[in-house]
Amino acid sequence: MTTGKMHADEVHIDASLVRRLVDGQFPQWADLPVSAVRSTGTVNAIYRLGDHLYARLPRVEGWAEDLEREWRWLPELAPHLSLRIPEPVGRGHPAGPYPFSWAIYGWIDGQPYSDKLVSDQRRAAGDLARFVAELRRIGPVAGAPRGGRRPLRELDAATRAAVESARGIIDADAATAAWESALGAPAWKGEPVWVHADLLRPNLLVHEGRLCAVIDFGSVGVGDPAADVIPAWSVFGRDGRETFREALDVDDGAWSRARGFALHQAALIIPYYVETNPGFAALARRTVEEVISDHEHGA
């Protein structure tokens, strides 16, 4: 886990800055203690405010608009979902040395998904599949942003380069074989559906052995439903993967596309974060291993 800098253009954020921002813009919360939340997150710095709130501050300019997306869409999506999602309660603005918009949310009790915290992987897979299905059923809304990833063919060069950069950390030859298999999947041509598009372990919270919340909706939008099948490899092992696929009734084409998306995402993470965020890179390595295993032996 990290609270340090991971990006060349990352702005400086610390507890004293958060204290000044909160005091200046939300005086009603000026008496709440500020403490950093250690996580494998890469987009925002997280600071807890007392027992019931937390602040999220984008680390770089390119991700500052993600909070605007959350502010617009989270209240509209929340009533349709059985798992908790973040609730924005305060909209912060650039001030002093901090140049981006930021936000305050209601705290959700839970810890990032890990095998040791989950009492039943199949039940967790069923719970997440239910959430994904609920999100899809909301239906497109006018003005909804695009979510998910570009077609696999458009990701080919970047994926191959990342796999090669990670050689020695992953089995690059096996990963390349899995990628080339995914490239044969049919392109998605259906109607767009709502997707979270970043269902990784750090974005799933567990409380008392059960999946309780989904966080970080900065990539939410409408697109290829295969984008939300990625947790079959990024979150679950073989048993959970079987349950997840069955619950969502994923056809072979979508399964292959999703496996390609999972490999693409994980392969890019490893060389970029292996030094600055080794915990996140380790999760990505695990994803690649699950993709290879599934490709070679089936779910």
Of 118, 136, 161, 148, whose CA–CA distance to 248 is shortest?
A: 136
Q: Which residues pair with 222 in a beta bridge?
A: 146, 194
- Does residue 289 come out as left (phi exceeding 0), alpha (psi in the -120 to 50 range) or beta? alpha
Neighbours of 90 (CB within 10 A): 17
Tell me the pTM.
Answer: 0.94
pLDDT (tens digit per residue) in 243-298: 999 999 999 999 999 999 999 999 999 999 999 999 999 999 999 999 999 999 87
Range with the poorest average pLDDT among 39-48, 131-140, 173-182, 205-214: 39-48
Bridge pairing between strands 210-214 and 204-207: antiparallel
Residue 3 has pLDDT above 50, yes or no: no
**What integer pLDDT is reported at residue 9 of this predicted model?**
81
Q: What percent of the chain has pLDDT over 70?
A: 98
Question: pLDDT confidence of 4, banded at 50, 70, 90?
Answer: low
pLDDT tens-digit series, residues 156-174: 999 999 999 999 999 999 9
pLDDT in tens, 179-218: 999 999 999 999 999 999 999 999 999 999 999 999 999 9
Go through the domains of the chain in sequence order and give each one's CATH number. Answer: 15-108 (3.30.200.20), 112-297 (3.90.1200.10)
Q: Give me the mean pLDDT over the 239-243 stretch.
A: 97
